[in-house]
Chain A
């Protein structure tokens, strides 16, 4: 029952003369704009935008939405992305008048409630991380990495030290090395051992006085807690370097272990993951960072402070790296984060991680007999299975399984990441799924593995489209609609 008419492109649905949005007649004199502006600055050709009625627009986008899988409609065990339920109350509360309609530059006196919320949120972030100083400004996890690396660079500059290297394990997200490059650091890859932990010999051979920062994701992208973290931290600190914790996987350790207690000097959160964002079809995220007190002077400005009983947006920090965002960061996401944290409270947050880890281990226990999980009998909040053996024996790849899962009404796990596991399938159930859902997923997987290879190669067959030709898309890219193709 797909409505193919309404899901044509906007530009194909358009018809000259259709109108949707209308303004009231002007209540001030309508001086011709030619008299107001230099001719060279004015548009002389008609603007090429589609012309549609409101009904066209509503039906078009409603139908498009039905072509997506989402957390609201499907189990979405996309590893590393923490696709948990996004509470409806957060949407309502973040859209309250007095919250959603605040201008970023309005006087502090007229935004005391918002500033109080942000100030409290800073204290929650500090408490959960064990790192006392917070900046809410970074707009995404990668932006938080970049901001913290800048703060670290400013700290070393202040000490009169030139440090050039950032060390990063081979299983890390690509954003880590990319962020390091943007701050002028050289990325050095540290090998993982067969069990997924950092190869300490490799680390020792690469740490020296040039080491600025060691970036680590802990729990790692393999879903394992790096037990040597305190030894790593000791080694890095002994040469004067800093530990950065990529907080992508905080959902496993809320209230259980704190980065500041296990050696990290700085970290970011991904509130769209850990604190139920939501993900918005690719964003927005947010990337607040927490750092140790000696790094506080370098955090970006402005920052939320409290003077007496009054809250302020304060830009008066002479050693600050500057500003990293047009305004104060992704406040709308942070408001939802605040609501989420308040709905759970301190004890509840610990329970979130306990249930997330329970769900992941349950799934792992049920999947291990079906697919090899190369690293670990147990996991934290996620684990990585491998289709490597299946590929050799039956020509079935991780991609084939992923695609067939779609036919069974499940979103696929993350595939081909981390790069260190061949034919990787990274699964993260999150805490907001029931045992019944996890069972149904594993049953589907079992069924799929009993199907013949051709069925899997042909999958998916029940989705709005079959597998798209990505080679064609990349060879001769078509990145916009044009009237004459």
Chain B
């Protein structure tokens, strides 16, 4: 059960290698969390993440979970919920894709959409049903500022996140009054080792809605050749002034914002908080002008 400050005792992470998710899990273990289930594709990274959390005193188990295999979600996640109550589900999987290549290979673009949107819709609905049956719990979904307004630079990724964001908002309204709390988290540019590695070549970094946000368990979901491609992309843009922007953030900051959001039972969380004002301005910029913005 969550306590008066919204700290859960059991946590299910979908996308168990996501840096944001792991930073959040570490924070929650320091509060009340004793049971963690990490769902993701079996990989050394997933096992390493589980070992790290185990060393912090939690009972951690990994669960084989593939976002693209929507047919299996009900069985896999149903088994997790059948064991015991899950106080919080953190939906953290997703892939950044590679805008340039995805535009040329529609199948690769579809894969981004299927992972980020279709997979999340299926997993989200399964979790929402289970949470509703137990009468309590939080579903926290990692969206992105990229979904707030489509940009030339990453509209494939952005559109998948826009779909996820709209889905989550609607789900939150549908579950209002059922005891289930749905929170959508919109981080800006997340600066971390993996984020650098998986960043697509779209980052200009000068404006918030820059490259896709966190890795979102990306490492487990990206095929090896994609990681290499992403690395070379990030190398190309290594000189981009990412650090210069005050609107970039870190997995730890996102984790902190999630914990605060749980305490306040927030429905929408921007990280950093100033993004909310920036994005509400950008949303209303006329398209001819928006196209010309260096973002």
| Same complex origin of A and B | no
